[in-house]
Structure 1
Amino acid sequence: MSDFNPVLITLPDSLTPALALKILPYGLTIHKILVQNDGRTHDIVIGPESPQGHVTQKYTNSIVGRYANRIPVGKHALERNGFSSEFVALPNESPHVSLHGGPVGFDALPWTHLCGDTTPELFSSSEMTRIHALPESSYAIFRLKSPSGDQGFPGTLSVEALIALVGPEKTRPLSEYSLGSIVLVYRAKLEDSNVVTPINLTQHWGFNLDASLRLETEPLSIKGHSLTIKADRVAELSSNALATGRFLSVLDLPAHDHTSKAVAENMPPGGYDDYYLFEEAANRSAPTRFSLSSFSDSSDYLRDLLRASDDEERGVRADPCVILSSERSGLKLEFDTNQRGVMFYTNAMANPADGARKKIHGGSGTSGNGDAYGPASAAFLEFHNPISSFLFDENKDGEDTLLTPDEMYHHYVRCDVKFKSS
């Protein structure tokens, strides 16, 4: 099926580009992130060998939506800036919990690859001019239409996603240098005029920077990776992982103070599956939604996102909010986003008896062969706004993860890929 034929996104500067992506229209899934350095090819995301394997190995590098993470099952009254609706969250993780958008979320749907004469609807003329200035092989735009009532969500929602690679501006003889940047931009708007709907998208991608170096005698693990999350609070969760609306200081919880420390240091016995709220200094000024009345042909929210990380004219020079690195492979990922936080998950619920592991990661590639990924095999870094924000009165008409018909949802994540030679 065409939904499982990878769309190759690559930088065309050489026969062996330093960075390439393989994207599946099914679930807008990043099937592979290929990195070339020191004569080696790394695939730095876990997952099945076969593209069709993503049907059963759910939430492995796919988008999730309409709503990331967990919502209590049942009926919820919604209100934002005078618009009101009703939302019925459907069970899938348990009778009491709706996970990642419901039983058939955005991860399990075919997205349309917009190519040829098909024009995106949610990017301005100025933004499209900027996108088209990139090499044709280095980007793709996808679309999904979610009808009103889909998984209980009110309102027909139109969603478009840009996935692009940006090459480094210069090649410098430094000990650490850029291999390029991965840019994800999600846009969404309602097609109905009188509703409000929850939306909180994310890419559920799982990284292991050493997986392609694995020896048969050692486990596949990210416990030795170094992680920095510039967050001062972590979400308090109930016994079934639903948000309580409260946040706890990481100063009181050493396990959750990720400041250039190994993932294994103070790691809870059950691993990590926690939402971190970025400290104020790490928040970006880019909006997470904007008024449709202010969005014109000249609007451009992509200017700095589609510039090389070492471009001297790049306007945004804030420090990354999340850094994941490995001394062994020499690879480092630096993340920037306009979302207020990140979910960090160490694949704690993975079972090596289920699914398949890529051959490049030392697996057989065969599902059910007993050599799939286990706990602590990946660092999932899911950037989105706070969990279930619309349930809590203190967020009303603010960062409540609700969208009205007069607004455009705007979400970006940028990942700068770097390599440090030994």
Structure 2
Amino acid sequence: MQSTTPPAGTGTPATGAVTRTVFGRTLRGEVVHRLELRLSSGASAAVLTRGAALQQLRVPDRDGTLGDVVAGLADVAAYEADTGYLGAVVGRVANRIAGGRFELEGTRHQVPVNDGAQALHGGVEGFDQRVWHAEEVTGGAGPAVRLRLVSPDGDMGFPGELLAEVVYALSEDASGVHLELAYRAGTDAPTPVSLTNHAYLNLDGPGTGTVEDHELVLAAGRYLPVDGGLVPTGELADVTGTPFDFRAPRRVGASLREADEQLLLAGGYDHNWVLDDCGPGRFATAAVLTSARSGRTLTVSTDRPGVQFYSGNFLTGAVRTPEGRPVRQGDALCLETQALPDAVNRPEFRTAEFGDVVLRPGQVWETRTVLTLAAG
């Protein structure tokens, strides 16, 4: 399923602006800024320097009414208390590393575990908890900001100094509002890299009800079964005849309560799908999410080989939107474009089809994902 969606920063020029305000301070005293990207139509996105987090994405519904479609929090204290990575750019390696252990160039490395026996999203203090440097980017089709982070050698057990950046660019044309996330990274020593954004999505608005009635398409004929630690077993399983077949539109909640072993292990969906048409040098549609209630449709396009679909299984209501609405189990979902999980420990996940998760000196790691939101 090749993407017909143009990336943000191309197509018909759009006017817009970036507004920077102080969002608060961390417990360490670091200033956190909020950068709002606004289009002339009123559509907007807000990004925080803490975690390079997408805090808000306001787009029209079928009636033209603007509304937020990502779960954000009201203040810095709420983000520091959160354990769900709301809207953050996670890394140095997204998803789980089995036992937090991996070996490179004959040297063993240990990432502090923070998800049972596994290291999740970069370990105990990943990129989601760091304050990134931000600057406005001009010259594109709409407002954009670049966020940069220096991760020193040995950070959370990872080798080499890593320079990471993500550019958020907002634009719109006749096909909808486009939010592009363009990532880059460089290193001075071999190190695994897999960044992604951990936005929680509800096309009717966070805290307004379940996403189980949203319809989802995943352009993937294979998925990765997991073990009890939610680490892939190594099998690339066919989705045919299983609750994991989203090749045609399927209600998110259609099979959530089936007695399927994989769904029981994860308490719902928390699995990686191996994308048919996406991967290194192949930018295409990964997922399409639709809500009949609001009329909004989200198309996710990427050049990553996998997408982690998480159905919000562990949301407890402790997360509250800036308006004070609790977000409970199943009230939001994540579609995280990424390398295949635990690839640093699995050579079969580091082929030409999927790309190598290990970045080496002299190389530049680049990837992009575009979220396109339309209403009808």
TM bucket, shorter chain? 0.7 to 0.9
Q: CA deviation at 1:284?
A: 5.1
Q: Which residue of 1 aligns with 2:12?
A: none
Residue pair 2:206, 2:321 contacting (<8 A) in 1 also: no
Q: CA deviation at 1:224?
A: 0.5
Show the 5 A alignment for 1:329-344: 329-344=294-309
Instruction: Quote the residue 2:272 is aligned against.
Output: 275
| Structure 1 residues 263-412: aligned runs within 5 Å | 263-268=252-257, 270-279=267-276, 282-283=277-278, 286=281, 320-352=285-317, 354-359=318-323, 365=324, 372-395=326-349, 398=352, 399-412=355-368
Contact residue 24 and residue 51 of structure 1 kept, 8 A? no
Match of residue 54, structure 2, among 30, 37, 49: 30
When normalised by structure 2's length, the TM-score is 0.84
* Match status 1:10 vs 2:23: no
The more displaced of 323-332 and 29-38 is 29-38
SS of equivalent to 1:407 = coil
Counterparts in 2 of 1:337 and 1:222: CA distance versus 1, 3 Å: same
Give, in whole Å, the separation in 2 of the partners of 1:4 and 1:342: 29
State the distance in 2 between where 1:85 and 1:110 align.
30
**CA 1:212–1:61 in structure 2 vs 1: closer, same or farther (change >3 Å)?**
closer
Give the C-alpha shift of residue 259 in structure 1: 1.9
AA in 2 matched with 1:111: W
Which one of the candidate residues 99, 103, 113 is aligned to 1:91?
113
Instruction: Give the drift of 1:400.
Output: 3.1
Q: Displacement of 1:43 after TM fit? A: 0.6
Change (3 A) 1:251 1:392: same
* Distance in 2 between residues matched to 1:415 and 1:199, nearest whole Å: 22
Please report how far the alpha carbon of residue 47 of structure 1 lies from its aligned counterpart in structure 2 after TM superposition.
2.9
Query: How far did 1:409 drift?
Result: 0.6
Superposition pairs of residues 16-415 of structure 1, within 5 angstroms: 17=42, 19-37=43-61, 38-58=63-83, 59-79=85-105, 85-94=107-116, 96-115=117-136, 132-134=138-140, 138-168=143-173, 170=174, 178-190=175-187, 192=188, 195-211=189-205, 214=208, 220-268=209-257, 270-279=267-276, 282-283=277-278, 286=281, 320-352=285-317, 354-359=318-323, 365=324, 372-395=326-349, 398=352, 399-415=355-371
Aligned counterpart, 1:293:
none
The 3 A distance-change label for structure 1 pair 200 and 212 is: closer
* Contact in 2 for aligned 1:200/1:385 (Cα 8 Å): yes
Query: Contact between 1:255 and 1:268, CA under 8 Å: does it hold in 2?
Result: no
Whether contact under 8 Å (1:30, 1:205) holds in the other structure is yes
In structure 2, relative to structure 1, the CA distance for the partners of 1:239 and 1:343 (3 Å cut) is: same
| Aligned 8 A contact 1:187 1:409 in 2 | yes
Call closer, same or farther: CA 1:30–1:75 in 2, change over 3 Å. Answer: closer
Per-residue CA deviations over 1:239-258 (Å, capped at 9, x if unaligned) read 11112221111014234435
Query: Matched residue of 1:207: which SS?
Result: coil
Q: 1-side partners of 2:296 and 2:95: how far apart?
A: 28
**Contact 1:85/1:196, CA 8 A, preserved across alignment:** no
Cα gap change, 1:265 to 1:8, in 2 (>3 Å): same
Aligned-partner Cα distance in 2 for 1:206–1:395: 26
Paired letter, 2:281: A
Residue 348 (structure 1) shift = 0.4
Q: What's the offset of the Cα at 1:350?
A: 1.1
| Alignment deviations for residues 107-164 of structure 1 (CA, whole Å, 9 cap, x no partner) | 000000034xxxxxxxxxxxxxxx63226x6100010000000000000000111100
Q: Write out per-residue CA displacement over residues 55-81 of structure 1, whole angstroms, 9 at most, x where no aligned residue.
A: 1223011110001111122542114xx
Q: Could you tell me whether the CA contact under 8 Å between 1:343 and 1:380 is conserved in 2? A: yes
Amino acid paired to 1:35: V
- Unaligned runs of 5+ residues in structure 1 are 116-130, 171-177, 215-219, 288-315, 360-364, 366-370
Kept in 2, the 8 Å contact 1:255–1:265? The answer is no
Amino acid at match of 1:53: A
8 A Cα contact 2:53 2:87, kept in partner: yes
Are the counterparts in 2 of residues 42 and 212 from structure 1 also a CA contact under 8 Å? no
Q: Give the number of the structure whose residues are more often helix, by fraction.
A: 1
> What's the C-alpha RMSD, in Å, of the aligned pairs?
2.1
**Separation in structure 1 between the aligned mates of residue 56 and residue 223 of structure 2, nearest angstrom:** 30
Higher mean C-alpha deviation, range 85-94 or range 198-207: 85-94
Q: Is the 8 A contact 2:286 2:307 kept in 1?
A: no
